[in-house]
């Protein structure tokens, strides 16, 4: 028993001694201070720099915690491949292995993407520290760029070549592989709208031979997300209020050569508007007058685009009454899915009072800020207005300087009554070099070249030079346009031209014209525009044929024209190039006589109106009337109106005008009136073909020239008319119009033509 007690006491005493020793050692370690820091292995980086990165200095505790902290700090710099810390007494020894410096960077095997494009995406560049993590990150970024261009079979392997002084050359070996196209787009759940209509509505397209210039046939996840939004808009536009996209799935084939995209949809019922009403608490807002102006009728299909337009009208009307903060909310009531009817109520109420604090623009590397700001319908300090913000976005997009324009309000923390407007743009190329070859009925075979910069020096100015060489016409012209002259919404410009025309076929003479013009235009509002122009030109009628009309021979020679022009137009068309609805009216006057040889007054009135019969069928009517008379002199032949050709198909250029009954030369007239009815329709081809069919009827009548004395001319004031059909093609080389027309009302001396082609220029 006594023996056991002895052993127990001995064990306790031993443990006590060990604990005291450990405590003493720990105390000794914590009391030790760094007396010196010695670095080893560093070639490029100074010892003082390493110490500063460690954040450990002489006099600090020489503890495990201190060393661990120093180790983490050094690795965090990314400058070292390896770091080891040890103690030599109270000396802290830091042994490092430096990461190499990139000497040169190479891309091998890249055919589709230029070196400069890839260099913009990578972190590693010459004189940058090389790490494996950066190299792998660069590989992933380049893979993403290739995939967005449709190459999902691409592989990239980074390799390094060691050089002296701890430098490396980095080589990215790229195997681009074949382009991965969208082979098939499937729609599931669409019972009412066909696959073809939905395929036209989205941006992504199936691969086809005629889409060889398009980038929309490759898979892009961002584009597919936008396609979902396009489908939603398309269905809402056509009255499907309950529409949803359940899912959008892109599947890559095992060989990585094609994608199959599947959209699963819920169409729901298509709704007509049973009752329509506007409810408001805003003082002075006449809802009945608004309903008459808007023109929504019972039985109309619901159309989200039309509702957006109506919302803008209401917001503008409320703004005119001083209500700057307006919210318009569509409310659906009494929705009857069985009958397909719904009551639509637009709830108009005062919105929260929010003012614009700042308009911040990002992404415009080249385009100056003021070029974008001047398109805004709001300014800093104005009341926030959704309709004006939307219109500002449209105006910036209409500049056609940017591939993307995104405008979003951003709340300011702690200031609920103010918001910033964040504008993000992506610039695109605004310079173009065009080349066109073709043939037209009027000018014959032609070659045209041009160079244009639409955003000169980022100032929004337009500078263009064009040269056209044709069998019967040669033209050189230079133009410059300043869209904001003197800092105001004044469009000013200057034009210089030199034109030579061969008119032997029609009137037995050639004409040379050289001159220039100064332009100034302004807008009263979004639809009403006025323009002024001064033109000084010299025209020479030469090479008059020996058997030409005496009336033309008398006008051989050179004349100078000093002319002031004015025009005013009211344009409500939905699209200037390919209108489908709306109308345009233009009145113009030319007065010559402020110096020069010619003195006349010319007035022209032009009008057009378009009716959308269906989504793709458009009926249009156009008319033109013109009259010119001289002040104390006859109007010269080069200033008169010639009926036929472009304005009266089925007749030659000037083919329905007065003419000399001996030589057959067209003499033109002092007035003209024309009209056209045209139906434009699809041909069942994909929209990207840009080919449309049309049937038309033209009618026209022209006057005769001034008193011709005893000269005998053939002239009749009876109307001429023609009917025909044709094709319009927005080809890669410019617009091409082909017409087949037959004259159904004509005079015996008129000159007709059945086939006419006009070949556009530029691609």
- Here the tokens at position 385 are 């207005």
pLDDT of 592 reads: 94
Two domains, one topology: 101-175 and 431-759: no
pLDDT > 70? residue 1? no
Q: What is the C-alpha separation between 28 and 599, in angstroms, rounded?
A: 112
Percent of the chain with pLDDT over 90: 29
Gyration radius from the chain CA atoms: 39
Mean pLDDT across 445-468:
83
pLDDT in tens, 611-668: 988 878 999 999 999 999 999 888 998 899 999 988 899 998 889 999 888 888 889 9
Do 211 and 217 meet the contact criterion of CB atoms below 8 Å apart? Answer: yes
Least confident of 85-99, 224-238, 593-607, 666-680: 85-99
Side-by-side strand order, sheet with 326-336? 272-280, 341-350, 326-336
Q: Where are the domains of the chain?
A: 1-29, 32-98, 101-175, 181-266, 272-350, 355-427, 431-759
Average pLDDT value for residue range 205-221:
79
Query: If we measure between CA atoms, which residue out of 47, 44, 137 comes closest to residue 99?
Result: 44
Decide if pLDDT at 734 tops 70.
Answer: no
Fold designation for 355-427: Ubiquitin-like (UB roll) (3.10.20)
Q: What SS3 state is found at 564?
A: strand
Give the pLDDT confidence of 118-171 residue by residue, as tens digits.
888 888 889 888 888 889 999 999 988 888 777 888 889 999 898 888 889 999
Pick the CATH number of 272-350 from 3.90.1300.10, 3.40.50.2300, 3.10.20.310, 3.40.50.620: 3.10.20.310
**Stretch (H or E) spanning 660:** strand 659-660
pLDDT at 353: 74
Sign of the C-alpha dihedral, residues 546, 549, 555, 558?
Answer: negative
DSSP three-state, residue 285: coil
- Residue 213 binned pLDDT confidence (cut-offs 50, 70, 90): low
Alpha-carbon distance of 668 to 626, in angstroms, equals 12
Task: Calculate what percentage of the chain has a pLDDT beyond 70.
Answer: 91
User: In the prediction, which pLDDT does 29 show?
Assistant: 47
For the residues 434-460, what does the mean pLDDT come to?
73
Strands (E), 503-580: 510-523, 528-542, 557-571
What pLDDT shows up at residue 710? Answer: 64
- What pLDDT, on the 0 to 100 scale, is given for residue 763? 28
Place of tokens 């030589």: 663
- Strand, helix or coil at 69? helix
pLDDT of residue 660: 87
Q: Which of the four pLDDT bands, split at 50, 70 and 90, describes residue 438? A: low
Token readout for 339 is 């009958």
pLDDT band at 436 (very low <50, low <70, confident <90, very high): low
Q: What is the mean pLDDT of the chain?
A: 85
Lowest mean pLDDT among 189-193, 226-230, 361-365, 447-451: 447-451
* Nearest CA-CA partner of 508 in 446, 555, 469: 555
Report, as an integer, the average pLDDT of 101-128. Answer: 88
CB 739, CB 756: distance < 8 Å: yes
Residues 6+ apart with CB under 8 A from 301: 238, 239, 270, 271, 272, 273
Whether 482 shows a pLDDT value over 50: the answer reads: yes
For CA atoms 421, 422, 426, 429, give the dihedral sign.
Answer: positive
Give 143's strand partners. Answer: none
Cβ–Cβ under 8 Å, residues 641 and 654: no
* Residue 292: pLDDT over 80: no
- The pLDDT value recorded for residue 165 is 82
pLDDT tens digits, residue range 515-529?
A: 999 999 998 887 899
Q: Show the beta-strand stretches assigned E in 372-460.
A: 402-412, 415-427, 431-440, 444-456
Instruction: Write down the pLDDT at residue 532.
Output: 95
| 664 half-sphere exposure, CB direction, 13 A CA radius | 9
Query: Model confidence over 390-412: pLDDT tens digits?
Result: 778 878 887 878 878 888 888 88
Task: Assign residue 299 a region (left: φ > 0; alpha: ψ between -120 and 50; beta: otherwise).
Answer: left
> Between helices 386-398 and 304-320, what is the axis angle to 10°?
110
- What is the model's pLDDT at position 701? 96
Q: Residue 10: pLDDT band by 50, 70, 90 thresholds?
A: low
Total-model pTM:
0.63
Quick: pLDDT tens for 367-381.
Answer: 888 888 888 888 888
Architecture of domain 181-266: Roll (3.10)
φ/ψ of 565, rounded to 5, equals: -120, 150
Confidence of residue 539 (pLDDT cuts 50, 70, 90): very high
Greater confidence, 352 or 621? 621
Tell which CATH architecture fits domain 431-759.
Answer: Beta Barrel (2.40)
Region for residue 393 given its phi and psi (left: phi exceeds 0; alpha: psi -120 to 50; beta: otherwise): alpha
The dotted CATH code for 32-98 is 3.10.20.310
Q: In angstroms, rounded to a whole number, what is the distance separating the alpha carbons of residues 363 and 372?
A: 11
Residue 114 has pLDDT above 90, yes or no: no
Cβ atoms of 624 and 584 within 8 Å: the answer is no
Give the containing element (helix H, strand E) for 745.
strand 734-745
**Confidence at 324, pLDDT banded by 50, 70, 90:** low
Check whether 221 has a pLDDT greater than 50: yes
609 has pLDDT over 90: yes
With contact defined as beta carbons under 8 Å apart, do 105 and 122 qualify? yes
Architecture per CATH, 101-175: Roll (3.10)
Dist. CA 503–CA 440, nearest whole Å: 14
Task: Estimate the crossing angle of helix 304-320 against helix 287-294, to 10 degrees.
Answer: 140
Least confident interval from 266-270, 310-314, 615-619 = 310-314
């Amino acid at each position: 028993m006594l023996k056991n007690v002895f052993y127990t006491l001995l064990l306790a005493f031993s443990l006590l001694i060990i604990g005291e020793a450990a405590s003493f050692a720990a105390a000794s370690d914590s009391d030790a201070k760094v007396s010196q820091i010695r670095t080893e292995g560093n070639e490029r980086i100074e010892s003082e720099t390493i110490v500063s990165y460690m954040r450990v200095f002489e006099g600090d505790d020489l503890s495990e915690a201190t060393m661990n902290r120093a180790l983490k700090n050094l690795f965090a710099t990314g400058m070292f491949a390896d770091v080891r810390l040890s103690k030599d007494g109270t000396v802290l020894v830091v042994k490092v292995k430096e990461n190499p410096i990139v000497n040169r960077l190479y891309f091998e095997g890249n055919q589709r993407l230029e070196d400069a494009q890839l260099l913009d995406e990578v972190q590693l560049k010459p004189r940058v520290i090389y790490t494996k993590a950066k190299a792998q990150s660069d590989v992933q970024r380049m893979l993403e760029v290739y995939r967005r261009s449709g190459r999902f079979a691409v592989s990239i392997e980074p390799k390094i070549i060691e050089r002296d002084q701890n430098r490396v050359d980095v080589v990215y070996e790229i195997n681009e592989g074949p382009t991965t196209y969208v082979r098939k787009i499937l729609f599931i759940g669409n019972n009412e709208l066909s696959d073809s209509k939905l395929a036209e509505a989205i941006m992504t397209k199936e691969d086809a031979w005629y889409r060889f210039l398009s980038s929309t046939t490759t898979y892009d996840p961002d584009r597919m997300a936008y396609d979902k939004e396009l489908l939603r808009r398309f269905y809402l536009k056509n009255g499907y209020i309950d529409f949803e996209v359940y899912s959008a799935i892109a599947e890559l084939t095992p060989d990585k050569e094609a994608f199959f995209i599947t959209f699963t949809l819920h169409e729901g019922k298509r709704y007509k508007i049973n009752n329509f009403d506007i409810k408001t608490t805003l003082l002075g807002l006449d809802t009945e007058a608004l309903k008459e102006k808007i023109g929504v009728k019972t039985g109309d299909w619901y159309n989200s685009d039309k509702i957006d337009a109506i919302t803008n009208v209401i917001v503008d009307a409320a703004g005119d009454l001083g209500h700057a903060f307006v919210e318009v909310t569509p409310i659906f009531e009494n929705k009857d899915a069985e009958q397909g009817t719904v009551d639509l109520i637009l709830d108009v109420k005062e919105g929260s009072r929010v003012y614009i604090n700042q308009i911040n623009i990002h992404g415009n590397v080249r385009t100056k800020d003021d070029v974008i700001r001047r398109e805004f319908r709001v300014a800093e300090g104005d009341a926030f207005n959704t309709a004006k913000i939307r219109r500002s976005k449209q105006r910036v997009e209409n500049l056609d300087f940017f591939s993307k324009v995104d405008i979003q309000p951003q709340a300011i923390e702690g200031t609920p009554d103010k918001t910033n407007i964040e504008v993000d743009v992506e610039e695109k190329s605004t310079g173009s070099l065009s080349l066109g070859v073709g043939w037209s009925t009027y000018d014959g075979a032609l070659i045209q070249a041009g160079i244009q910069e639409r955003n000169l020096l980022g100032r929004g100015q337009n500078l263009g030079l064009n040269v056209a060489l044709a069998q019967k016409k040669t033209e050189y012209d230079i133009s410059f346009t300043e869209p904001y002259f003197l800092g105001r919404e004044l469009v000013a410009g200057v034009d210089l031209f030199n034109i030579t025309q061969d008119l032997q076929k029609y009137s037995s003479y050639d004409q040379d014209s050289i001159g220039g013009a100064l332009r100034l235009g302004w807008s009263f509002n979004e639809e009403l525009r006025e323009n002024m122009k001064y033109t000084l030109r010299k025209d020479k009628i030469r090479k008059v044929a020996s058997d030409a009309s005496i009336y033309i021979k008398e006008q051989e020679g050179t004349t100078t024209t000093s002319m002031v022009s004015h025009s005013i137009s009211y344009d409500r068309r939905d699209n200037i190039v390919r209108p489908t609805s709306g109308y345009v009216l233009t009145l113009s006057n030319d007065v010559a006589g402020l110096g020069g040889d010619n003195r006349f007054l010319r007035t022209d009135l032009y009008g057009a109106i378009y009716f959308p019969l269906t989504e793709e069928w458009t009926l249009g009517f156009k008319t033109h009337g013109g009259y010119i008379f001289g002040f104390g002199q006859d109007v010269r032949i080069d200033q008169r109106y010639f009926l036929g050709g472009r304005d009266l198909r089925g007749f030659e250029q000037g083919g329905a005008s007065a003419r000399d009954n001996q030589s057959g030369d067209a003499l033109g007239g002092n007035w003209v009136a024309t009209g056209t009815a045209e139906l434009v329709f699809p041909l069942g081809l994909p929209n990207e073909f840009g080919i449309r069919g049309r049937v038309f009827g033209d009618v026209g009548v022209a006057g005769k020239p001034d008193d011709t004395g005893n000269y005998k001319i053939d002239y009749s004031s009876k109307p001429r008319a023609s009917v025909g059909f044709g094709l319009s093609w927005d080809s890669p080389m410019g617009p091409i119009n082909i017409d087949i027309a037959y004259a159904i009302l004509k005079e015996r001396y008129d000159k007709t033509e059945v086939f006419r082609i006009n070949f556009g220029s530029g691609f």
